[in-house]
């Protein structure tokens, strides 16, 4: 039986009079990549804001391992890793220093932090760059540092908000392969927000947001069939009226 890690139940959110999310219900399963698709302004970042506690939940419910956030917000946050669309690394610190700072925020002891940092740097092929300043790294390596940081405390849920934005196609592909391998090995539940259809694999579960509403839940092939399209790009265009999808 699949282990349910995180779910939202009829979550809604408004910025003043503008409705950003309306009755959005999703489920994240341990060891599964869940792709959150939608054009810009669909509500993806708002949902991430609610899941991470940056926005206050006023409508609906969020549950971590079947327990409501009202009772277990600290439990979720301690088991949550996040990579935001905009980098939050300190460019003037070294790779290692960025990770050490995060480890201290997570309450790790010095010995544990040293061990986990070494493990993640090796896993992401960054050991030789540990002493380099983040400013000296290219975009792909910076994203790897952010992934290493997000996974440093061994979270059970990983949120990725457009993690490949600004990267070339080859770097995006390598980063996606790394995330998928890690998801499978660590059994972490991943929610990956994107508008790039080539990041979706046949085995992924898809949620499609548009205009703040959940328009679809299912497999890529089911999305294609429902839209009566010949490709995932065509299905996305049809269901979102989006004419300029990046490939």
- Domain edge (last residue) among 132, 154, 176: 154
Number of Cα atoms under 13 Å in the Cβ half of residue 122:
6
Q: Inter-axis angle of helices 95-105 and 139-150, to 10 degrees?
A: 20
Q: Which of 46, 4, 6, 40 is nearest to 22 (CA)?
A: 46
Q: Do 120 and 150 fall within a single domain?
A: yes
Q: Do 62 and 121 fall within a single domain?
A: no
* pLDDT tens string 118-132: 999 999 999 999 999
Residue 242: the pLDDT is 62
Residue 247: the pLDDT is 39
User: Given strand 205-210, what is the order of strands in its sheet?
Assistant: 67-68, 59-64, 4-15, 18-29, 213-218, 205-210, 33-37, 189-194, 157-161, 80-83
Q: Do 146 and 166 fall within a single domain?
A: no
What separation in angstroms does the CA of 205 have from each of 66, 81, 101, 217? 20, 20, 34, 7
Residue 41: the pLDDT is 86
Q: Do 149 and 160 fall within a single domain?
A: no
77 versus 111: the higher-pLDDT residue is 111
Residue 245: the pLDDT is 43
Whether residue 1 is predicted with pLDDT greater than 80 in this model: the reply is no
Residue 43: the pLDDT is 92
Q: Do 185 and 70 fall within a single domain?
A: yes
Q: What is the mean pLDDT of residues 203-229?
A: 95
Q: Do 226 and 181 fall within a single domain?
A: yes
Number of domains in the chain: 2
Domain hosting residue 163, numbered range: 1-79+156-247
* pLDDT tens string 50-73: 999 889 998 999 998 888 877 767
Mean pLDDT, the chain, integer: 91
């Amino acid at each position: 039986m699949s282990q349910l890690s995180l779910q939202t139940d009829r979550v809604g959110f408004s910025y003043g009079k503008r409705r950003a999310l309306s009755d959005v219900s999703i489920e994240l399963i341990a060891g599964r990549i869940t792709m959150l698709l939608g054009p810009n302004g669909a509500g993806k970042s708002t949902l991430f804001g609610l899941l991470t506690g940056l926005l206050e939940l006023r409508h609906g419910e969020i549950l971590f391992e079947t327990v409501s956030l009202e009772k277990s917000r600290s439990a979720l946050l301690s088991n949550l890793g996040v990579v935001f669309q905009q980098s939050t690394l300190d460019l003037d610190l070294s790779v290692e220093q960025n990770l050490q700072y995060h480890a201290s925020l997570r309450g790790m002891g010095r010995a544990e932090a040293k061990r986990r940092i070494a493990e993640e740097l090796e896993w992401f092929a960054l050991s030789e760059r540990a002493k380099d300043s983040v400013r000296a790294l290219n975009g792909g390596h910076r994203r790897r540092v952010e992934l290493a940081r997000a996974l440093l405390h061994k979270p059970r849920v990983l949120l990725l908000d457009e993690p490949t934005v600004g990267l070339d196609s080859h770097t995006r592909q390598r980063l996606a392969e790394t995330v998928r391998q890690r998801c499978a090995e660590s059994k972490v539940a991943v929610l990956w927000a994107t508008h790039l259809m080539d990041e979706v694999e046949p085995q992924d579960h898809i949620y499609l947001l548009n205009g703040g509403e959940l328009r679809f839940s299912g497999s890529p092939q089911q999305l294609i069939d429902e839209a009566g399209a010949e490709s995932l790009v065509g299905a996305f265009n049809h269901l979102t009226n989006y004419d300029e999808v990046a490939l």
